[in-house]
Chain A
Amino acid sequence: MRRKNWYLIVGAVLTASMLAFTAVGFFWTPYEPSAMSAADKYAKPCAAHLFGCDQLGRDILSRTLEGAGATLAIALAVLAVGALAGLAVGALCGYHGGAADALVMRLCDAVAAFPSVLLALVVLAVTGPGKYNVIAALGVLFVPSFARLVRGEFLKYRDRDFVRSAKLIGVSDLRIIFVHILPNIWPVLLSGLTIGFNNAVLAEASMSYLGIGVSATEPSLGYLLKDAQGYLFTAPWYTAFPAAAIVLLILGVSLLGEGVRERMGVGT
């Protein structure tokens, strides 16, 4: 009998709860997230404001709901850009090899040699802040790690006999890559995606915290943390709830990834 996979169970529950929380925020928030109210300045968590209020009397639950949505959207978009481009680059390089592969991989090494947040800082210093610039900068910077992961897997598979068989029966290279080889590397890719998602959440939070990420009109969880830091002692709940949302999201996805790895026997 299979041992209970607690990572998978706890990770799935936690991730699902956070997704549900975020989904709620897309449709409904108890208050208008940016609505100020002088009477509620620094309000403690209470029945009317479950998470309390900030220095301008804005409802923190509403702001956290909205921020979680922004963070999730940015992380997913970064992941989509990085993973799709990384998959294409890694698959082609790993499958075909040769001089082009060597060149592209050197390029990836060069980019990956710098911490991605640092590079994104530089990029955003040039392009200016904003959601789409963050997505583009982080997305591009995520390509090398995905490309390398995928390339390694394709390298492993391209000389397998089943790939040779496929060539003999006349299957096209693209079909070999995406239909014959790709399904074999799903487990590895999936665990890479969970790690990438967490890195994207953290990178976006760091950048917004440093003030070069999203703008005040589209506050993400990272932006809320930055906004809250001046009131750490007057309104600690302003820091606590967005921070908890980030931690729970990352924890859930990490556990989920670990559970998937265990379930699929990746790395064993």
Chain B
Amino acid sequence: MAEPIVRIQGLKSWYGKGRERKQVLRGVTLDLAPGEVLGVVGESGSGKSTLAKCVLGMVTDIEGTLHVDSQRPQMVFQDPYGSLNPAKTVGWILEEPLRAIGVRDRAQRRRRAAELLSMVGLEEEHLGRRPAQLSGGQRQRVAIAAALMQGSKLIVLDEPVSALDVTLQAQILRLLAQLKEQLGLSYLFISHDLTVVYQLCDRVAVMTGGEIVEQGDVDEIYDRPKHPYTKKLLEASLALD
């Protein structure tokens, strides 16, 4: 197997300082191979987003091994209303990652923005729009395009389709799968929805109370869950369907 793009061993993390200091991750170990999609599932508060933030370097109070072998990993957030600057146009939002890495040539930035916009299934006319003038699904497409502008190979997706209705979810998941193939991306895909994870992920890690209790290939885990917590999650999700 190739060198993993993310290698995490015994990762612990804390929020707060002094007396308020509270541990969230309690020894997480996982690898993410290049080109792989790893799902992280677990109940609310189990530490999924915290794990994501650690990978992106947004949590600094950590212990253990955290090795990320990718230039500027990017993130796609759950709520596309909040992740796009309401005061800016789509074009500006897409160009900003290029400005940040020093691409001075405006025409080049525009070209690249238009290119990625079409890759996520939007038209060039959308460049002049503001986020408020787009639908929820279109906004999430813009957010995905923005995350890809710097050419990052590792994308962390924190509940990227949870705010969308089921048909839109399917479209966005298909888009993500397609972009992954096209650009050779790796995803750390966080979700509480096991059905969604099943559609997109190669492997899945089950998290509860800041620990990963079970991980493995999606088929393996879904067919023969070993840990009681995984069984409980699967039963709950089947009961919903």
Contacts and interface: CB of A to CB of B under 8 A. Distances in A.
Interface of A: 160-162, 164-171, 180, 183-184, 186
A160 B150 CA distance: 21
Contacts of A161: 77, 79, 82-83
A186 B150 CA distance: 29
Contact of A162 (B83, B97, B147): B83
B176 to A, nearest CB: 17
A187 to B, nearest CB: 10
Contact of A164 (B72, B75, B97, B101): B75
Contacts of B74: 165, 168-169
Contacts of B143: 165
Contact of B100 (A164, A170, A183, A184): A170
Contacts of A186: 87
Interface of B: 56, 58, 72-75, 77, 79, 82-88, 96-97, 100-101, 143, 146-147, 149-150
A37 B165 CA distance: 82
Contacts of A166: 85, 96
Given A162-B84, A183-B87, A184-B85, A169 B97 contact: yes
Contacts of B58: 164, 167-168
B100 A171 contact: yes
A170 B74 CA distance: 11
Say what secondary structure dominates the interface of chain A: helix
Contact of B86 (A167, A169, A184): A184
A161 B52 CA distance: 14
Contact of A171 (B77, B86, B88, B96): B96
Contacts of A180: 85, 88
Contacts of B149: 169
B113 to A, nearest CB: 14
A161 B81 CA distance: 9
B82 A168 contact: no
Given A161-B77, A164-B58, A169 B72 contact: yes
Contacts of B75: 164-165, 168
B82 A160 contact: yes
Nearest to A160: B82
Interface centre among B58, B79, B97 (most CB of A within 10 A): B97
13 contacts: A161-B77, A165-B75, A165-B83, A168-B56, A168-B75, A169-B96, A169-B97, A169-B149, A170-B72, A171-B96, A180-B85, A183-B88, A186-B87
A162 B92 CA distance: 13
B82 A170 contact: no
A46 B147 CA distance: 72
A165 B148 CA distance: 12
Given A160-B82, A170-B72, A165 B77 contact: yes
A162 B85 contact: yes
Given A164-B58, A169-B96, A184-B85, 11 more contacts: A161-B77, A161-B79, A162-B84, A162-B86, A164-B83, A165-B83, A169-B97, A169-B101, A170-B72, A183-B88, A184-B86
A165 B146 contact: yes
B195 to A, nearest CB: 25
A166 B150 CA distance: 12
A236 B63 CA distance: 80
Contacts of B83: 161-162, 164-165
A186 B146 CA distance: 25
Nearest to B143: A165
Nearest to B84: A162
Nearest to B58: A164
A171 B58 CA distance: 14
Contact of B87 (A164, A168, A184): A184
Contacts of B82: 160-162
Contacts of B101: 169-170
B100 A169 contact: yes
Nearest to A172: B100
Contacts of B86: 162, 184
B25 to A, nearest CB: 19
Contacts of A167: 58
List the 4 closest pairs (A to B, CB-CB), nearest first.
Answer: A183-B87, A161-B83, A161-B82, A169-B97
A164 B88 CA distance: 16
Contacts of A162: 82-86
Nearest to B93: A162
B88 to A, nearest CB: 7
B85 A169 contact: no
